A and B are shown apart, each in its own frame.
Chain A
């Protein structure tokens, strides 16, 4: 019963470094999302995907990139890390079925950029 799995759980980056946050789900969900969670700001949508090969920007996409080569995987890439990207990142997925309501979340990845 893995659900949504994110790696790494914690990471410290220096300004200008790049890295990829991995996300995989084993529920055959079409829709996948990346959110960032900042204190007092709630969750903001970074990017989302409605299926393999299809991605789109959310509210706060600047500084990030995504790809969706398979249904299972939805990695988030930070190309030039900045202190403003210090946050907790959550990957989530949901079925495309009409009326679906429950978004399944990963455990989160805490990223610090120094």
Chain B
């Protein structure tokens, strides 16, 4: 079964602290993984995808097939990073995304 697990509902850190948002997946084929972000009162938007291997707004995520993980990391959190983060898995030929339950990141000043 295809599944995305985000174990933390809320992650609270202080500004300047490192951040790691956890994501584990279950998928029988070759996975394609994404992180989406929803800032307050804004629509969901793509943050990054594992294929591109980019750093966006200081965030990176590495696909670890051995651990079936795709954790999102940032070395120094900023207050403007406060948002809801969703890990997502693309499965099948219809470009459907399966989302995790989301982690609310709160960066305290």
Contact = CB atoms under 8 A, between A and B. Distances in A.
A72 B2 CA distance: 29
A50 interface: yes
Interface residues of A, number: 26
A42 interface: yes
Interface in B17-44: 32, 34, 36, 42-44
Contacts of A75: none
B96 interface: yes
B74 interface: no
Interface in B74-109: 86, 88, 90, 94-102
Nearest to B45: A105
B100 A42 contact: yes
Given A31-B95, A48-B96, A96-B95, A90 B44 contact: yes
Contacts of A114: none
Contacts of A43: 86, 99, 102
B65 interface: no
A100 interface: yes
A37 to B, nearest CB: 8
Contact of B34 (A40, A45, A101, A108): A101
B9 A40 contact: yes
A33 interface: yes
A104 B76 CA distance: 28
Interface in B40-55: 42-46, 49, 51-52
